[in-house]
Amino acid sequence: MNQKLGQEYEGGARVRFLKDNCDAIEEIGFNRKFTPEEITDKKDNLAIVAIEINDVEIEKKEVMKDFKERIDPLQSRKVALLKDIKLKSEFTKEECFKFVDQDERLVAYYDCDGILVDFRPIRPEEAQLTIRHLAATGTND
């Protein structure tokens, strides 16, 4: 089988020759090989597109960096707020007032607003009444 037919004809004359001498005309799909000029043109276009993509990627990184700088503090604040909402409280450290209840055998801690913030069982060293404790309360009960 010949690799090429009607090469002695140009353009429309070649198409007429092929049409006149074929058995049938059918539409089929196939891969048409590119000419060396078409390959060179595609490579040039690829280089242009690659440069444009690189420029857009650089611009994207700069924009994403700006967005990251803007969103990171918001994300941190969101995490803290979600934690506060979930726990319905926050950890704080402040001076509290300790009260030892000998009868109940408990130690209670109150904040400056007089709200109970913590309590626990009395420790052995706290169970003993001291002269200082008696003097501070003014009673010996």
| Inside any domain, residue 56 | yes
Burial 4-35 (b: 16+ CB within 10 A, else e): eeeeeeeeeeeeeeeeeeeeeeeeeeeeeeee
pLDDT tens digits, 75-103:
999 999 999 999 888 888 999 899 999 99
> Mean pLDDT in the chain?
88
| Inside any domain, residue 24 | no
Query: Which residue numbers in the chain have pLDDT < 50?
Result: none
Helix (H, G, I), strand (E, B) or coil at 95: coil
| Inside any domain, residue 107 | yes
- Domain limits at 68? 32-89
- Same domain? For 71 and 102 the reply is no
pLDDT confidence of residue 141: 53
| Inside any domain, residue 47 | yes
Domain count of the chain?
2
CB 51 within 8 A of CB 38: no
pLDDT confidence of residue 140: 55
- Same domain? For 58 and 79 the reply is yes
pLDDT tens digits, 67-76:
999 999 999 9
| Inside any domain, residue 18 | no
- Same domain? For 41 and 58 the reply is yes
| Inside any domain, residue 58 | yes
Residue 117: count of CB within 10 angstroms of its CB: 13
CB 49 within 8 A of CB 42: no
| Inside any domain, residue 118 | yes
- Same domain? For 116 and 84 the reply is no
Q: Whole-model pTM above 0.75? A: no
Residue 138 structure tokens? 């003014």
